[in-house]
């Protein structure tokens, strides 16, 4: 015995047994475990890649929706501006129509007043002429010719009409 290990047939059988055991374990144990570990590593890497892709997609969708939201806000502002503009135009149109109606109403009222004024003047002249005729006939009981009579009436109407309407 030279040391702990003796070289002989036992040592050779032990090495052969070890090699057989190693190859059997390698074929039936190490390969499946290594394959399983490779598959597991590959699945984990794929999961990380999928997570990265989904994160990229989510960021892209976020940016897309953010842009759409800005466009919607801009569109909303445009719609509000357009509605305000149309309301102002309608308001201006209504005011214009109301002013025109008021002008027409004032013109009609002025015309009615003028007509009534003229009617009153005519009635007053008729009454004055009747009154002048009655007064003249009572004051003058003598007979006058028709032409002088008409001149007196006209003179009376002119004088009374001028004085009355100047006041």
pLDDT tens-digit series, residues 94-114: 999 999 999 999 999 999 999
Confidence (pLDDT) at 138? 63
Closest to 128 measured CA to CA, from 83, 162, 95:
162
pLDDT at 167 over 70: no
Distance CA 80, CA 83 (A): 5
Over residues 16-34, the pLDDT tens digits come to 999 999 999 888 888 888 8
Q: Which of residues 75 and 121 earns the better pLDDT score?
A: 75
Query: Between the CA atoms of 92, 93, 99 and 101, what dihedral angle is there, to the nearest 10 degrees?
Result: -160
């Amino acid at each position: 015995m030279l040391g702990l290990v003796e070289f002989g047939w036992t040592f050779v059988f032990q090495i052969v047994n070890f090699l057989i055991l190693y190859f059997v374990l390698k074929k039936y144990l190490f390969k499946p475990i290594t394959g399983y570990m490779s598959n597991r590593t590959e699945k984990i890497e794929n999961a990380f890649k999928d997570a990265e892709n989904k994160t990229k997609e989510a960021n892209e969708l976020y940016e897309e929706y953010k842009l759409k939201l800005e466009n919607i806000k801009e569109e909303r502002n445009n719609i509000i501006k357009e509605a305000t503009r149309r309301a102002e135009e309608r308001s201006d149109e209504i005011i214009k129509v109301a002013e025109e109606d008021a002008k027409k109403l004032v013109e009609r009222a002025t015309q009615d007043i003028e007509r009534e004024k003229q009617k009153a003047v005519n009635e007053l002249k008729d009454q004055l002429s009747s009154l002048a005729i009655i007064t003249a006939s009572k004051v003058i009981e003598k007979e006058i010719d028709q032409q002088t009579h008409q001149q007196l009436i006209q003179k009376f109407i002119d004088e009374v009409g001028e004085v009355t309407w100047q006041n």
